[in-house]
Amino acid sequence: MTDARNRYRNAPKNADYTIDQDWASYSAEEHDRWNRLAAGVEALLPGRAAPEFITAVDKLGLGSGGVPDMGKLSEMLRPLTGWSVVPVADLVPDEVFFDHLANRRFPAGAFIRSEAEMEYLEEPDIFHDVFGHVPLLADPVYADFMEAYGKGGAAAMARGQLANLARLYWYTIEFGLMKGEDGLRIFGAGILSSTGEIRFSLESDAPNRVGFDLERVMRTKYEIDDYQQTYFVIDSFEALREACYGDFSALYDRLRDLPDIGPAEVVESDRVFHRGVGRAA
Ligand code: HBI
Ligand code: FE
């Protein structure tokens, strides 16, 4: 069976779910599509993205050179932080995903979205995974945080509390904001691979922007099919790494007895940067 959306769907998989990227197989149209996506996002980065992200996009040559070769990209990344990027066909099982991260391998989808899905797509493609996630893996502190997240996966699964840990990923790695010297900056890959959400996350009155707190985040439900209603703001990558290092057992015990928080809710203990006016009816 062929799959119009993802031409790698049925590629032969290794035991760790990696596949052959077969870089030579990308068409001129696919390279051009990457370049248009990258140009659209890059124009919005100055003054909006975390400086570490902007520096790394440049250093890793992720701009207008066409669809990246993950092997070559890994050769640039490895000497910086020990991370590599490995091609996969689609979402991999949770335990496989965590094992890759714990070993400093980022699994990235090899296909690129179609022309019909330039703004919104249902599963992560190479533009989201590589342009969105890989730059910050060149930052040593962020690189440690991501490994620690992977190492925490097995423990969360064993306790049946993967949902709590997944919220940490969602509200930081995918949709995180950071406090910069002159205003908020974006570091989340889900935002940085979407021109619409780059503007929305920083400039719209609709969503809440509140300070990051690990327990608060792990209690907060999220929606996957629209822009976020709440963004969490970290102080720095150091602060994020320190909050997320070590054992979450006591925290997971507490979370069992605490109610979830809705995606649009602001709670008493929040450090509020902006209280959202909510989505238009
Ligand atoms: N697989 N390729 C891929 N990418 C992901 O982001 C991903 C995954 N498998 C599981 C998963 N994410 C989530 O379950 C975890 O973040 C919790
Ligand atoms: Fe992602």
Domains of the chain, earliest start first: 23-274 (1.10.800.10)
Q: What is the mean pLDDT of residues 176-199?
A: 96
Average pLDDT over residues 50-61: 97
Of all ligands present, the nearest one to the C-alpha of 133 is 2
Residue 18: is it exposed, middle or buried by C-beta count within 10 angstroms (0-12/13-18/19+)? Answer: buried
pLDDT value at 1 more than 60: no
In whole angstroms, give the CA distance from residue 77 to residue 85.
Answer: 8
Q: Is 88 in the pocket of ligand 1 (CB under 6 A)?
A: yes
Q: What is the pLDDT of residue 2?
A: 62
Q: Which of 9, 21, 94, 134 to mutate to test the pocket of ligand 1 (most atoms within 8 A of CB)?
A: 94
The ligand 1 atom at the shortest distance from the C-alpha of residue 107 is: 2
Higher-confidence position of 64 and 128: 128
- Alpha helices, H only, the chain: 28-42, 51-59, 70-81, 94-102, 126, 140-158, 162-169, 189-192, 195-203, 214-218, 237-244, 249-256
pLDDT at 281 over 90: no
Which has more pLDDT, 119 or 163? 163
What is the model's pLDDT at position 94?
96
**Per-residue pLDDT band at 4 (split at 50, 70, 90):** confident
Q: What is the mean pLDDT of residues 124-148?
A: 98
For the chain, what percent of residues have pLDDT higher than 70?
Answer: 99
Whether 98 shows a pLDDT value over 60: the answer reads yes
53 half-sphere exposure, CB direction, 13 A CA radius: 28
- Can you give the pLDDT at residue 122? 82
Please determine, for residue 246, whether its predicted confidence score (pLDDT) is greater than 90. no
The three-class DSSP label of residue 234 is: strand
pLDDT at 60: 97
Burial of 250 (0-12, 13-18, 19+ CB in 10 A): exposed
- Of 69, 110, 70, 113, nearest in space to 92 by CA: 110
> Are the CB atoms for 132 and 126 separated by under 8 Å?
no
Cα–Cα dist 8/108, whole Å: 12
Rounded mean pLDDT of 14-33?
Answer: 98
Residues 9-17 have a mean pLDDT of: 97
pTM for the model stands at 0.96
Query: pLDDT (tens digit, 9 = 90+) per residue, 206-220?
Result: 999 999 999 999 999
Q: Which atom of ligand 1 is nearest to the CA of 162?
A: 17
Average pLDDT along the chain? 96
**Any idea which residue has 């890759």 for tokens?**
100
3-state DSSP assignment of residue 46: coil
Banded model confidence at residue 64, pLDDT cuts 50, 70, 90: confident
**119 C-beta neighbours (distance < 10 Å), count:** 11
Residue 227: the pLDDT is 95
Specify whether the CB–CB gap between 251 and 218 falls below 8 A.
yes
